[in-house]
Amino acid sequence: MDLSQTLLQLEQRLLSQAIRGDVEEISRLLADDFVEFGASGNIWSKAEVVEQLPHQPFTQRTISHFTVKPLSEHTVLVTYRCHNIIIGLCSPSDSLRSSIWRKQGEQWRMVFHQGTLVYPR
């Protein structure tokens, strides 16, 4: 499997209902120095995400326009458009997402994530 496919699968796992409810798996996928700049404007640490994510209501999401840009031998930037599928609305709510992943041993771990809401034109 190539790097792009590996990282796409990791991003999709973090968006899945099963992983979002699994504290141990969230802990494995996030680096200890992880930080998130949320679409809400809040800043989250790994400890806060691990504690709070399993209790958040689940929203089904899909990914499009996925790209990978190597930053160094073991660090990459991924960007994509995230489509939040909200039941009862005519169109999904979108956000632009970026994540920095770092390879530690054989494991890729997310060290940074940012979501930016996309407003309809």
Fold of 3-118: Nuclear Transport Factor 2; Chain: A, (3.10.450)
Question: How far apart, in whole angstroms, are the C-alpha atoms of residue 15 and residue 78?
Answer: 15
Model pLDDT for residues 44-77, shown as the tens digit of each residue? 999 999 999 988 888 889 999 999 999 999 999 9
Model pLDDT for residues 1-50, shown as the tens digit of each residue? 799 999 999 999 999 999 999 999 999 999 999 999 987 889 999 999 99
| pLDDT score, position 87 | 58
- Residues 105-119, mean pLDDT to the nearest whole number: 93
- Look at the alpha carbons of 76, 5, 37, 52 in this order and tell me if their dihedral is positive or negative: negative
Where are the chain's structural domains?
A: 3-118
The residues near 34 (Cβ < 8 Å, ≥ 6 apart) are 45, 46, 49, 109, 110, 111, 112, 113
Name the pLDDT band for 119 (thresholds 50, 70, 90).
confident
